[in-house]
């Protein structure tokens, strides 16, 4: 009978968590100042010059509008349209879209997104969900909250981070995300009136001002919400929740990603799409099978990158 403890020992490279590789990547992408913003404020806005290679965001928007049209029968009208779901603070949401078009693989594998989210959550982070949101005018503000789904006090190191592509311009009147700078260091959730923000009352929360093509990334502990949209038309955005692999994922990509998708991406794509996660097992044989499957992807990544993911280092 195979020993599951020995199965985990891959004899992989011994680099602790790939910090040297990560800083090389951060410097090569020119992301140092955005890392500094993140450390200070708990969020950063990466401009289109870095975040939007080959007009990625316009291509994401075109595909998302087509998927929405296929699913609902109505193509969202960015200039004059209304959300179908007017009772939601985020408007209409398209879920389960990663497998529908290779452009979403590009959104996930975007070097700037990976470098910043790896800085926050480590090389073993995974994609928990990827969805499109189209939000129209309403009176509904999204109150302040954290995305770390735990009671206070929260762990100070990020368990997760949210990455938002602005597919249309973000500003206060358009209903942009707001942040309370530095709140990630408080390591707790807002309570009561602390959840309010605005001109007259509540927290000092700053609305994101970012042109279409920008990428907003924030620490899971950062207090954030969103202004209600005050102008006609729709705010369009793509949201990727990235998290440490030990957390339960929102969307299920395990064993659902095709060989074709895996082959056209680097080995990290398999790690990011949950292939190296070890799901709950039924018995010893099932455990061995699931660990063996996970190690296939872990070993391929470790050999390709020289970065060790294994728990035994």
Q: Which residues bind Fe ion (CB under 5 A)?
A: 147
- Which of residues 184 and 298 has its CB atom nearest to Fe ion in the complex? 184
- Which of residues 94 and 309 has its CB atom nearest to Fe ion in the complex? 94
- How far, in whole angstroms, is CA 74 from its chain's centroid? 27
- In the block, tokens 């289109």 appear at 48
Distance from C-alpha of 276 to C-alpha of 166, rounded to nearest angstrom: 30
- Which of residues 161 and 309 has its CB atom nearest to Fe ion in the complex? 161
Minimum CB distance to Fe ion, residue 184 (Å): 13
- Which of residues 18 and 220 has its CB atom nearest to Fe ion in the complex? 220
Q: Give the residue at shortest CB distance from Fe ion.
A: 147
CA atoms within 13 A on the CB side of 77: 9
* Burial (CB count <10 Å: 0-12, 13-18, 19+), residue 49: exposed
Minimum CB distance to Fe ion, residue 142 (Å): 8
Q: Strands 142-145 and 126-135, how do they pair?
A: unpaired
Minimum CB distance to Fe ion, residue 239 (Å): 9
- Which of residues 189 and 298 has its CB atom nearest to Fe ion in the complex? 189
Minimum CB distance to Fe ion, residue 206 (Å): 15
Please give the structure tokens belonging to residue 24: 């090389």
Sequential DSSP letters for 97-164: -GGG-HHHHHHHH-HHHHHHHHHHH-TT-EEEEEEEEEE-B-S--EEEE-SS-SPSSPPSS-SEEEEE
Minimum CB distance to Fe ion, residue 90 (Å): 9
Length, in residues, of the chain: 313
């Amino acid at each position: 009978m195979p020993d599951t403890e020995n199965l985990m020992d891959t004899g992989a490279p011994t680099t602790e968590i790939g910090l040297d590789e990560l800083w090389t990547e951060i410097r090569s992408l020119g992301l140092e100042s955005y890392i500094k913003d993140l450390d200070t404020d708990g969020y950063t806005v990466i401009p289109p010059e870095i975040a939007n290679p080959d007009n990625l965001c316009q291509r994401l928007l075109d595909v998302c509008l087509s998927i929405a049209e296929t699913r609902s029968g109505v193509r969202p009208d960015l200039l004059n349209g209304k959300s179908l779901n007017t009772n939601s603070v985020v408007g209409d949401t398209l879920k389960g879209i990663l497998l529908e078009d290779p452009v979403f693989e590009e959104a996930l594998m975007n070097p700037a997104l990976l470098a910043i989210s790896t800085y926050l959550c480590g090389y073993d982070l995974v994609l928990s969900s990827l969805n499109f949101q189209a939000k129209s005018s309403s009176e509904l503000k999204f109150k302040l909250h954290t995305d770390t789904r735990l009671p206070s006090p929260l762990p100070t190191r990020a368990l997760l981070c949210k990455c938002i592509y602005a597919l249309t311009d973000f500003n206060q009147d358009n209903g942009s995300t707001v942040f309370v700078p530095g709140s990630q260091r408080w390591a707790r959730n807002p309570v009561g009136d602390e959840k309010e923000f605005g001109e007259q009352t509540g927290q000092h929360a700053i609305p994101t001002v970012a042109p279409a093509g920008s990428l907003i990334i924030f620490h899971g502990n950062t207090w954030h919400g969103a202004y209600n949209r005050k102008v006609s038309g729709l705010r369009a955005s793509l949201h990727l929740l990235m998290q440490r692999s030990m957390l339960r994922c929102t969307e299920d990509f395990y064993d659902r990603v095709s060989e074709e998708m895996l082959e056209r991406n680097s080995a990290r794509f398999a790690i990011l799409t949950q292939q190296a996660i070890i799901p709950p097992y039924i018995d010893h044989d099932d455990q061995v099978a699931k660990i063996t499957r996970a190690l296939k992807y872990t070993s391929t990544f470790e050999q390709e990158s020289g970065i060790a993911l294994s728990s035994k280092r």
